[in-house]
Chains A and B, each alone.
Chain A
Amino acid sequence: MRQSTLPGGGVKIMLSNLRTMWLVFLHLFHKKETIQYPEEKIKLHPRWRGRIVLTKDPDGGERCVGCYLCAVACPVDCIALQATEDENGRRYPEFFRINFSRCIFCGYCEEACPTYAIQLIPDFEMAEYNRQNLVFEKEDLLINSQGKYPGYNFYKVAGMDAGVKEKGEGDNEEPVVDIKSLLP
């Protein structure tokens, strides 16, 4: 049965309404939650997912190996790239384009990336008047820093020789087996 508003109950409701009004009125003197944005910045956490960057390894080489995993992982298909190789066989993206007007900042690209190349950083101030300006090319994305994972160099731990180190010389890498010899 639904609650009836008989006189007794009505008075009770009235009083509780007046109490509500008083309590709300007291909010006049509470601390305000508003952050006066352009003058007062919000504090973003280090792992906040914002503008995307492409990082470099400690030696200053591009980390991205053009594996397309980020482009595949992206749920809104806003990453476009074309892989190519330099004379040493080191892969890198010929172009790398992120359309930030479509990006939903989910961070899946960062999770998919095997080389820590693509990273989301705590920066959201990227409003533009022209939509086309939100399409970032490689030169807009590439930064001269290692981002969140300092010291990591993919080609130092990879098995292949791409001009960074000889085969078998990498960190934790066994020496190359001489396949022409029977000695252990």
Chain B
Amino acid sequence: MTVMQHIWIVIGVLFVLLNIAAGLIWVERRLLALWQDRLGPNRAGPLGLFIVLADTLKLFFKEDWIPPFADKKIFILAPAIVVGSVLLSFVIIPFAPNIVVADLNIGLLFFLAMSSLGVYSIVLGGWASNNKYALLGALRGASQMIAYEVFMGLSLMGVVMLTGSFNMGAIVEAQKDMWFIVTQPVGFFVFFIAGIAETHRLPFDIPEAESELIAGYHAEYSGMKFGMFFIGEYLGITLISAMMVALFFGGWLGPSFLPPLAWFALKTFFFIGVFILLRASLPRPRYDQLIEYGWKILLPVVLANLMITGAIALWMKGG
């Protein structure tokens, strides 16, 4: 790959991702509305698509207020971290053969590391706001992330064992004969739950919990700084969906009547839809329930999965 090609891929990925993140505003509002027997925004532009434009402009022109009691530098830094860390995670996602920003041989580890960095934005944002609700949200965010980070990593190890590589491209290639959802259903299941918790989407939006903590860690944010958290959330959904597709649903693989990129996008959008459906249907669990569920159920399950996968992999190699 030449340098020029590389730069084009980076720009292309960035462009597509940011547009998807913005477009998801519309997608989410329309889908939520349809699932609640409403129509949703359908006035501005065709099918109401220009609501994206209106929302973005509104965010830009809102008063960008920094509370006088906030820790100013960190307050400004926090929203940037979330977008930055999620965008960095996209670096390793193979959208199609040869369309990947960085074909790292430790791709999966890089993803896990970057998604863990995201928690800093929550903690710092909540801390710098100097507001008790924001701080509570940040605390919850931290403990939730630590708990679910563990299974997230462990749930993917089954896939890594079967592939024998951390490289995302290799993982997708290894699914030529059979998608990993068939061989690793438990891993997928746990990764999915951890993914929801990781993006702190409903029903696991404990750090935000607008009905208990007003808006949790971003209670003090306004204008485009809030917009960054917003975009970070949508990017997070896209990231987790793309990861699920790449790891368990054969990435770009699919019947050849569609180009690989289209297959990848289709599958990703399916999972984005599932994320929104989750938001539409499930209530938020209590904080202690969430943590208990994580440590007492998911951890044993994922460890058992790891052990069994390892045993079978060994047996197949030996036999």
Chain A residues proximal to chain B, CB less than 8 Å: 5, 7, 10, 17, 20-21, 23-25, 27-28, 30-34, 36
B292 proximal to A (CB < 8 A) = yes
B280 interface residue per 8 A CB criterion: yes
Return the CB mask of B273-302 against A: 1 if under 8 Å, else 0: 000011011100000010011001100000
* Residues of A contacting B297 in the complex (Cβ-Cβ under 8 angstroms): 5, 7, 10
- Besides A27-B35, A32-B39, 18 more A-B contacts (Cβ < 8 Å) are A5-B289, A5-B292, A5-B293, A10-B297, A20-B282, A21-B277, A21-B278, A21-B281, A21-B282, A24-B35, A24-B277, A24-B280, A25-B277, A28-B35, A30-B37, A32-B34, A32-B37, A34-B38
A-B contact pairs, 18 of them (CB 8 A): A5-B297, A7-B297, A10-B293, A17-B281, A17-B282, A20-B281, A21-B277, A21-B282, A24-B35, A27-B34, A27-B35, A27-B36, A27-B37, A28-B34, A31-B37, A33-B38, A34-B39, A36-B39
A30 to chain B, nearest CB (A): 5
Contacts of B296 in A (CB 8 A): 5
Docked complex Cα distance between A94 and B277 (Å) = 61
Complex alpha-carbon distance, A24 and B35, angstroms: 6
C-alpha spacing A5/B277, complex, angstroms: 24
* Residues of B with C-beta under 8 A to A25: 35, 277, 281
CA distance A25 to B282 in the complex (A): 12
Chain A residues, CB < 8 A from B36: 27
B residues less than 8 Å from A5 (CB atoms): 289, 292-293, 296-297
Which positions in B face A, CB cutoff 8 Å? 33-39, 277-278, 280-282, 289, 292-293, 296-297
CB distance from B297 to the nearest CB of A (A): 5
Rounded to whole angstroms, the CA-CA distance of A21 and B203 in the bound complex is 12
Minimum CB–CB distance from B299 to chain A (whole Å) comes to: 12
CA distance A20 to B280 in the complex (A): 10
A170 vs B58: C-alpha distance when bound (angstroms):
66
| Distance in Å: Cβ of B146 to nearest Cβ of chain A | 19
Is B37 a contact of A33 with CB atoms below 8 Å? yes
